[in-house]
């Protein structure tokens, strides 16, 4: 199963648990427990995908690549800045 399929599956479980409510305050007690569990599962799966993508960004931004480094080509100093997703914007 692909990484995105796993995320879609977890999101579908969350959607099913949330069914019929417009906001969290309208969830039944049973739904609150199911939604909380579904959110935890979704977060764990999302974190796992994020770690994998961050590792790939790091590999493509290794110092020996110099100017060909993904981070440098995107205007960042290091892969950590790319991973934060701040778009390279400097505030201040």
Q: Is residue 85 part of a domain?
A: no
54: containing domain: 3-63
The pLDDT, as a whole number, for residue 77 is 86
Q: How many domains does the chain have?
A: 1
In angstroms, what CA-CA distances link 11 with 6, 20, 47, 66, 74?
A: 9, 16, 14, 39, 31
CA 80 to chain CA mean position, Å: 15
Model confidence pLDDT, tens digit, residues 63-81: 999 999 999 999 998 888 8
Q: Please, which pLDDT band fits residue 30 given cuts at 50, 70 and 90?
A: very high
Q: Is residue 79 part of a domain?
A: no
User: What is the reported pTM?
Assistant: 0.77
């Amino acid at each position: 199963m692909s990484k995105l399929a796993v995320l879609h599956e977890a999101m579908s479980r969350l959607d099913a648990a949330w069914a019929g409510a417009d906001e969290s305050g309208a969830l039944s007690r049973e739904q609150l427990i199911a939604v909380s569990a579904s959110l935890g599962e979704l977060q764990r799966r999302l974190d796992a995908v994020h770690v994998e993508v961050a590792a790939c960004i790091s590999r493509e931004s290794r110092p020996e690549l110099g100017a060909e480094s993904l981070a440098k080509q995107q205007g960042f100093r290091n892969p950590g800045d790319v991973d934060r997703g701040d778009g390279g914007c400097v505030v201040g």
